[in-house]
Amino acid sequence: MYETFLYHPQRGFNFDKLNSGEMRQALADPQSALWIDLMSIEDEEIDILTEIFALHPLTVEDLIMANARPKVENFKDYIFLVMFSMEYLEKERTRVKTDERDFCLGRNFLITAHNSTTTAFATNKERVRKQSPIIKNGADFLMYSLLDSLVDSYFPVINEFDDMVDNMSDELFRDPTSGTLKKIYSLKNEIMYLRRTIGPQADVMSIITRGDIPCISSSNTVYFRNIYDNLVRLNDIVGTSRDIVTGAMEAYVSIVSNRLNEIMKTLTVIATIMMPLTLIASIYGMNFKHMPELESKLGYPAIILIMGIITITMLAYFKRRKWL
């Protein structure tokens, strides 16, 4: 299943689905700009890719099979580019969803392939249907527009995670619990995934911006530098968030350890104060007949008074030594 968009300076726009002969005619005219968007690749689409566009078998295989990492490959008549879209899913367990987006760019054609729709592609299709200049400026500029829309969609996702990192930091120093630790681990894993996705794409865009790719005109290369700058900026933001989360894990351990130390200190003070009181109570709890003060009417209040004096004295001593 595919859609085609064709522009020619003299004949204008054609949004009808082209057949094989019309595609060959468009490719033979250097003034044409042809965009084919593949939503699924069946036998018909494979024939188009191999026979009409003469794509390398490895490229066709990459278009069919999923790729794990972004990459760019430079062939004789075209370049093959693998990038990823990004979406934030608030109610899902895995909050970041990425989908592969493949691009084959020739001098006057662009082939895109994907398994799911995205706002970036839908927006650019609507622009082309409204006769936007993005396809009039060539297939390379059209690819720039698609990539720019993809990268722009990263910003809301990254900002969402940046807010979650800030909220986690506030919770960490306000009232950390075991749930806080789970949030830290979850954020760390997702941020590492973001970094593994964005970083390689910046490397790919760096290769494209070198200006030695024949399919991309020198006048349009500067636009791809803008995409590269955005990816670098996003990668820096994710890197900062990663450092904060890593520090938060260490801070959580320190906070929990300090809290445990405070608890142990309190319990130690209580146990230390109780030791002499327990000693006195245990001595006078023995059932010997001949013990001093057993027959005295003031024995009990005297012992209670002594215990109180010992407690106050020990508390004052601990306070003076700054143990409390």
Q: How large is the average pLDDT for residues 85-112?
A: 83
Kindly list the strands in the beta sheet with 79-88, ordered across the sheet, starting from the edge strand earlier in the chain. 12-14, 2-8, 33-38, 109-113, 96-105, 79-88, 71-74
pLDDT-derived band at 87 (thresholds 50, 70, 90) equals confident
- The pLDDT, as a whole number, for residue 92 is 61
What angle do helix axes 119-129 and 139-152 make, rounded to 10 degrees?
A: 140
Per-residue model confidence as pLDDT tens digits over 110-165: 999 888 777 888 888 888 888 888 888 888 899 999 999 999 988 888 888 888 88
pLDDT-derived band at 12 (thresholds 50, 70, 90) equals confident
What is the CATH code of the structural domain delimited by 2-255? 3.30.460.20
- Whether 91 has a pLDDT exceeding 70, the answer reads no
What pTM value is reported for the model?
0.77
- The pLDDT, as a whole number, for residue 94 is 66
Q: How large is the average pLDDT for residues 79-98?
A: 81
**Residue 214 DSSP SS3:** coil
Per-residue model confidence as pLDDT tens digits over 17-65: 888 888 888 888 888 888 888 887 888 888 888 888 888 888 888 888 8
Dig out the tokens for 250 from the structure: 């260490």
Q: How large is the average pLDDT for residues 249-255?
A: 80
Number of other residues whose CB lies within 10 A of the CB of residue 51 = 12
CATH of 257-320 given 3.30.420.40, 3.40.190.10, 1.20.58.340, 1.10.490.10: 1.20.58.340
Domain ranges of the chain: 2-255, 257-320
Reported residue count of the chain is 324
How far apart CA 69 and CA 186 sit, in angstroms, is 22
The per-residue pLDDT of the chain, averaged, comes to: 84
- Whether 184 has a pLDDT exceeding 80, the answer reads yes
